[in-house]
Structure 1
């Protein structure tokens, strides 16, 4: 496993869940982090190694990718000398992929790039002209003729259609969830247990559209508190607090900050809301269902539409605050039945096996 650090994000949690699942099934897992940041506990049995770049030279940005690829090659060589050649290499997140694509030690036939997000939404939405064209070219050069894994069909189609990427192989593998662990963690104390509230879990990032969430909440006429679990820059946090003041909802919006265990908060909420412009998969939607909590999401590009099928589709809102407000209120008043949902396609057992099946493809 290779990832550019482990801050409190969804893709990072996926990497750790998958690593733990593979170790529990008797496999050796080395997790290379390309930065020292780590907001999570590393699962027992995972060989966690930091491959950080210490270059301070003025021209470091110009040589960054090749330099960091060389550092990773050294770490891979040492790991293979100690434990044998890798059978499968999984690269996670675009910054990591740019470095891994330049590594000489990693065999292309066993290396898979895991696509966690909708690239056109993340990297092209604010680009025009030459800047947009250049980003497309750079992205295509990273993934062209490579093995790709998408967390949803949409993220693969987006790369193919918008960036004109032609992969060597591609697969769709949903994100893994340790049902037992999530349910056990959800039993820990929650200060709002026994009260009604809504919840949003996600970092304070433009794509998550907390501004849309706050405006929809204000329009919904729901008076129960809205809990925001997540963190961001001081500027982003201050901007959201100012918006809550402007909307006269500051007394009902709780900025809880980041927590490594959001599950008690999710379990006791009346509903969980996703307000994003795009979601590669939408981990928190499945986590909420595992905890028995109804879900609402914008009908954004990515995974939510594939997760929210059947009666859950009532919780899909259009990508505007009026529709989101109406959907939040409707699901609050008439939640879907979720007790008997079959979520086994997201189980760590099923997902780990799909990854292990890739080894036979070499």
Structure 2
């Protein structure tokens, strides 16, 4: 089959990594894969064997913002038409991220039944969280217009339900497909040396952003009174980082909380940690939870809208906490003292090939 992925650039984000992982998996399975990027931004290596095109908008006219979506849809149509004339029609098209979805929804060069819009997060949290009144209503209407009667892939059922319920959308088809993971690659990276190996510590890996609720994490950690240090691995604004450091001071835990910043390979640190903690208000899926389990490290997570409850099932569900610091503290203590058994068989379902096959099966819908 011929498969097309479209995305608004490839900076170092989770959705971008998912797209490249899927593209590589489908190529491995013998399919022809094209990747069209709407910006000349790429922080990841492009897998070999993939047709990669950049469709950049160079318009500099004063009213370019007003006409951007239709103009860019026309640009994308032109490239798609040329590609299909040269190598045949695409059997499946996957649009990724909302800016891309707005553009793709205006395209006329592809059979609509072949297009699937991939939802990587909880839209109401991302797009409505700080809006009220008319501004909120207008944003809801714009999003509804993009996804109404479309084919939807959600990284979690919660992401699909949020889109349907919060934006009053009737989808044509919808399916939950969890994110893919390069299990062998993660294990290889996790085997690299770790300066903290041999010591007990807790870890949180993720960008320093208010939605991750580090304030809840710090308060819960203080309540546990555990002797293990807490490692915060991730980067955020200077203002937010200083706010967290001030809170750690207030809670009397500043000497035990270590801000490590961004790390290109966090897996050795995850592997040697006692527990990985996620304290978010919402997660599209929660990639770091699966990555931690692959590394053999148990996890504690708030049972927030998104993927945590999908990932932490069976005996792993002991690590799910309510959305407050008291419950989170209790679960941290519980999992530290009684870590659940992580079953390898369950993790295999997150592999690249099984996930790629689920996406490819959409050609039969």
What TM-score range do you get, normalising by the shorter chain? over 0.9
Structure 2, unmatched stretches of 5+, are none
Counterparts of 1:259-338 in structure 2 under 5 Å? 259-338=263-342
Counterparts of 2:338 and 2:14, CA distance in 1 = 29
More moved, 39-48 vs 91-100: 39-48
1:138 aligns with 2:142: yes
- SS of the residue 2:84 aligns to: helix
Shift of 1:186: 1.2
What residue in structure 1 maps to residue 169 of structure 2?
165
What residue in structure 2 maps to residue 256 of structure 1?
260
1:80 to 84, 90, 102: 84
- Cα gap change, 1:60 to 1:258, in 2 (>3 Å): farther
Residue deviations 1:298-333, cap 9 Å, x none? Answer: 010111111111111111111112221221122112
Q: CA RMSD in A?
A: 2.0
What residue in structure 2 maps to residue 219 of structure 1?
223
- Cα gap change, 1:185 to 1:33, in 2 (>3 Å): same
- Cα gap change, 1:7 to 1:162, in 2 (>3 Å): same
- Cα gap change, 1:72 to 1:217, in 2 (>3 Å): farther
Q: Is the 8 A contact 1:204 1:233 kept in 2?
A: yes
Q: Is the 8 A contact 1:143 1:167 kept in 2?
A: yes
What residue in structure 2 maps to residue 30 of structure 1?
34
Shift of 1:252: 2.7
Counterparts of 1:279 and 1:260, CA distance in 2 = 21
Shift of 1:19: 1.1
1:355 aligns with 2:346: no
What residue in structure 2 maps to residue 235 of structure 1?
239
Shift of 1:131: 1.7
Q: TM-score, normalised by structure 2?
A: 0.92
Counterparts of 1:208 and 1:112, CA distance in 2 = 28
Counterparts of 2:194 and 2:302, CA distance in 1 = 27
Shift of 1:340: 4.8
Q: Is the 8 A contact 1:120 1:162 kept in 2?
A: yes
Counterparts of 1:234 and 1:177, CA distance in 2 = 31
1:247 to 235, 245, 251: 251
- Number of equivalent positions: 361
Structure 1, unmatched stretches of 5+, are none
Counterparts of 2:322 and 2:225, CA distance in 1 = 18
- Cα gap change, 1:39 to 1:215, in 2 (>3 Å): farther
Q: TM-score, normalised by structure 1?
A: 0.93
1:147 aligns with 2:154: no
Q: Is the 8 A contact 1:121 1:278 kept in 2?
A: yes
Counterparts of 2:38 and 2:266, CA distance in 1 = 26
- SS of the residue 2:265 aligns to: coil
What residue in structure 1 maps to residue 57 of structure 2?
53
- Cα gap change, 1:310 to 1:66, in 2 (>3 Å): same
- Cα gap change, 1:259 to 1:86, in 2 (>3 Å): farther
Q: Is the 8 A contact 1:88 1:111 kept in 2?
A: yes
Counterparts of 1:222 and 1:341, CA distance in 2 = 32
